[in-house]
Amino acid sequence: KAGVTQTPRYLIKTRGQQVTLSCSPISGHRSVSWYQQTPGQGLQFLFEYFSETQRNKGNFPGRFSGRQFSNSRSEMNVSTLELGDSALYLCASSPGDRENTEAFFGQGTRLTVV
């Protein structure tokens, strides 16, 4: 069974640009969650999608958005990039049925904003 795939692995963007990150969950998983990991703040929850619907959202500005497609693949978008958006963005895949809470993570996308 293929794991969680995040693309791209590395990204360098300039302040003010926008970026789109992609996450393909494990086959059969319907929930995709996104986390931002920084040395200072640790892992912070961005949002979670289940069956194309956002079920929860963390405390991030509206510049951070996401969506999920019918095949459960998810994208997150960050507009008007700021230097502080430099981070490792992790995607987690889970069945989403709340009976099995084990989340499987991708290797992340390292975003650097210059």
Partner 1 sequence: AQTVTQSQPEMSVQEAETVTLSCTYDTSENNYYLFWYKQPPSRQMILVIRQEAYKQQNATENRFSVNFQKAAKSFSLKISDSQLGDTAMYFCAFTLIMNRDDKIIFGKGTRLHILP
* CB neighbour list of residue 57: distance below 8 Å, 6 or more residues apart: 46, 47, 48
- To partner 1, the closest distance from the beta carbon of 16 in angstroms equals 27
Residue 94 binds partner 1, judged by CB under 8 A: yes
DSSP H or E stretch at residue 24: strand 19-24
Residue from 33, 36, 68, 72 touching partner 1 (CB under 8 A): that is 33
Cα dihedral value 67, 53, 32, 64, nearest 10: 40
Q: Which stretch binds partner 1 (CB under 8 A): 12-20, 67-75, 77-85, 87-95?
A: 87-95
Residue ranges in 38-77 that form contacts with partner 1 under rule CB under 8 A: 42-43, 45, 48, 50, 55-56, 58
- Please, which residues bridge with residue 33 across strands? 48, 92
Q: What is the number of alpha carbons within 13 Å of residue 22 lying toward its C-beta?
A: 7
Residue from 2, 14, 102, 114 touching partner 1 (CB under 8 A): that is 102
- To partner 1, the closest distance from the beta carbon of 80 in angstroms equals 25
Tokens 């920084």 found at: 38
Tell me which residue of 70, 30, 66 sits closest to 46, measured CA to CA.
Answer: 66
Identity of the residue, 19 or 92, whose beta carbon is nearer to partner 1 in the bound complex: 92
User: Site residues (CB under 8 A) for partner 1?
Assistant: 31, 33, 35, 42-43, 45, 48, 50, 55-56, 58, 88, 90, 92, 94, 96, 98, 101-108, 110
